Amino acid sequence: MKFRARLWTSISAATLIAASGAVSGLAAAPSADGAKHGAGDHGSPGSFLVASAGEGGEGGEGGEGGEGGEGGVDPDLAAKDPALYISALDIIRAHYLAGEAMLDVEGGRQAAGEMFAHPISEVYIDLEPVFEAQGAAPFMDEMTEAVDKALSDAPVAEVKAAAARVYAALDAAEAKAPAGSKSALAVEGALTADMFERAAKQYDAALAPSGTDEAWIDGYGFWKVAEMRADALTPKLGAGQEELAADIAAAKTLFAAAYASPEKPASPEIEPGALFAASSKIGLRTGRL
């Protein structure tokens, strides 16, 4: 609780309004086919990263099930598993990449601030003790600075500079990830699969009858992290892993077309099932690394 108390004392009133607005609509959304794909919908090997702490209470991101790919990361498990630990950082990074993209959209400044605010209370607060235990410097101040600048009249360049400081803090925290039994390649593969799966689930949730622009923006952020992870993983794949490399390349093309913009299109041309199929292929193959 002491970390949540710090949240309320560290953020301005304007930021709190944005944060509550960002969190208020996070009940599990039905998919485009009427089903629900919440944090408990674990359909591929990559989804072991989505822990049950996000399914209620004050656990991980997403509240009661989350929106599509928004599932929490269990702090106790993250303290022992490098993939889970880094996944929490990737969730934060996804929101900042999405928020930064919204800064370039006309009228997107409020949404940018909400994206920056969202993971503070829904991810960072619960994971801060884990980061500190690993020797990573706290970075809530950097996050709240980005939120305040996004919601104020600060020039866009200043907002992006603040976001860049958050990225630097995330990189530093990632370097302090706990040791695990899996190889570095297996961890990178799991992270890549996880982000593609989250992006697919958010796409599905955003296109549901009750889908929201926020779900779409979240998904865009997950896709951008998936792209980053894929670009880092692919050059490290060797002989016998050509099929995984091909599946990643195909998924990148498909997801780039699906998430062509951080703004939700009026008539998306790609069906959610195509994204689920592509992410599942990656999850199956990375599970064998």
Which one of 42-46, 50-54, 78-82 scores highest in mean pLDDT? 78-82
Using the predicted structure, report yes or no on whether residue 181 has a pLDDT greater than 80.
yes
Higher pLDDT, 45 or 103: 103
Q: Using pLDDT thresholds of 50, 70 and 90, give the confidence band for residue 271.
A: very high
Identity at 89, one-letter amino acid code: L
Q: Select from 158, 185, 166 the least CA-distant residue to 245.
A: 185
Q: Which residues contact 145 (CB under 8 A, 6 or more apart)?
A: 162, 165
Using the predicted structure, report yes or no on whether residue 63 has a pLDDT greater than 50.
no
Average pLDDT, the chain: 82
Using the predicted structure, report yes or no on whether residue 119 has a pLDDT greater than 90.
yes
Q: Tell me: the pLDDT tens digits for 207-257?
A: 999 999 999 999 999 999 999 999 999 999 999 999 999 999 999 999 999
Check residue 114 and give its pLDDT: 96
Q: Using pLDDT thresholds of 50, 70 and 90, give the confidence band for residue 261.
A: very high
- C-alpha 62/C-alpha 71 separation (Å) is 5
Q: Using pLDDT thresholds of 50, 70 and 90, give the confidence band for residue 61.
A: very low
Using the predicted structure, report yes or no on whether residue 160 has a pLDDT greater than 50.
yes
Q: Select from 219, 195, 200, 227 the least CA-distant residue to 37.
A: 200
**Residue ranges per domain, the chain?**
2-286
Using the predicted structure, report yes or no on whether residue 166 has a pLDDT greater than 90.
yes
What is this structure's pTM?
0.80
